[in-house]
């Protein structure tokens, strides 16, 4: 079987799909490898992510990884969400085929972009680790930061 049961479950029954009208941070990123797009909405209270929703034009792997990623950051602090990597999300799904790893980058980057947007809206400086990676090996050299 190409995809794990968890991937299939999150693909067929994605969690947290939609929009948050009064979101505190919104991030949109594109995947340069396939042209797919992901939008992430965060509701933040104090330091805690109280709600999260996503929308994507990505493939099944993008849907499954975003669904899992939103479950992993809901109720977590901003600091914890910042630490979430696409590799950790893929691992939580019991793995993805190697050639689909680039799809999982969308969720991580969209969360980071939404957190960066939150900092900007608060009038605060965006922390360095929210700046999107340029040609980062771990990210398969794919980058949507526009640098
Ligand atoms: Fe584009 Fe998977 S092929 S996100």
pLDDT tens profile 89-122:
999 999 999 999 999 999 999 999 999 999 999 9
**What phi-psi label fits residue 94: left (phi over 0), alpha (psi between -120 and 50 degrees) or beta?**
left
pLDDT at 132: 67
pLDDT at 137: 46
**59 an active-site residue?**
no
Pocket test for ligand 1, best of 10, 29, 62, 108 (most atoms within 8 A of CB): 62
pLDDT at 133: 59
- Total-model pTM: 0.89
**What phi-psi label fits residue 68: left (phi over 0), alpha (psi between -120 and 50 degrees) or beta?**
alpha
**34 an active-site residue?**
yes
CB 108 less than 6 A from any atom of ligand 1: no
- Which portions of the chain are predicted below pLDDT 70? 1, 132-147
């Amino acid at each position: 079987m190409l995809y794990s049961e968890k991937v299939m479950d999150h693909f067929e029954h994605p969690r947290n799909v939609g929009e948050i009208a009064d979101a505190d941070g919104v991030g949109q990123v594109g995947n340069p490898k396939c042209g797919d797009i992901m939008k992430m909405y965060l509701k933040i209270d104090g330091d805690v992510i109280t709600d999260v929703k996503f929308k994507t034009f990505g493939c099944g792997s993008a849907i499954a990884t975003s669904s899992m990623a939103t479950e992993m950051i809901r109720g977590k602090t901003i600091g914890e969400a910042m630490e979430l990597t696409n590799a950790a999300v893929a691992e939580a799904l019991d793995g993805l085929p190697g050639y689909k790893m680039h799809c999982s980058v969308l969720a991580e980057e969209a969360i980071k972009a939404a957190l960066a947007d939150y900092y900007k809206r608060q009038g605060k400086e965006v922390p360095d680790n929210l700046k999107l990676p340029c040609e980062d090996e771990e990210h398969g050299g794919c980058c949507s930061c526009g640098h």
